[in-house]
Amino acid sequence: MSSIEQADVWLFRLLNHNLVNPAADDLMVLLTGGRFSWHIFVLVAFFMVIRKGKGGFLVILLALIAVGLADSVASGILKPLVQRVRPCFALDHVRLLISQPHSYSFASSHAANSTAVATVTWIFFHRGLLVEKLFTGLIICYAFVVSFSRIYVGVHYPGDVLAGMAVGICSALLVYLFFSWIMKNIIQPRLMLEESCSHD
């Protein structure tokens, strides 16, 4: 086992065994579950539409594309490529709070997906009014806690979570940059051309 893997295992045991509280167990199980996440994403989408109007639907679309890309990279590419066994199977005495997933461990798709949404939210709302800044901060905190919950419940190493967060950030940025390129090089020139033709 390399020194990086040893450090990852040591940190996992610290977070999974020592930095826990029985009072937080139910909350972490709730946060790590997919059903609760959908409720959060619906509220996020509702807020985006209220604050951005029709433009909010575009932000939602970009967030969904970013999540799709992040999930494809984490679950469709990295997990079968790296084939890292989850800590609940590889280590003894893991504090496991949910049923054992049988997919590979690296990278965490929960961390990738929630971070992708948080990154898109940050791109479009962090420079807005106070309510939008607070909303952005809450979504970032939610993504962080969801990512941490995967370690807490015993199904991911910290390295899996960090990799998933990196995938989520990069996926959101790539989607936004691609969208910006299309707007600048295709959509805006066509709109300007149509406007100039309408004045002739």
Q: How far is it, in rounded angstroms, from Cα 69 to Cα 57?
A: 18
Q: How far is it, in rounded angstroms, from Cα 117 to Cα 73?
A: 15
Domains of the chain: 9-199 (1.20.144)
What CA dihedral angle connects 55, 59, 64 and 65, to 10 degrees?
100
Which residues in the chain show pLDDT less than 50?
A: none
In this predicted structure, what is the pLDDT of residue 194? 67
In this predicted structure, what is the pLDDT of residue 199? 60
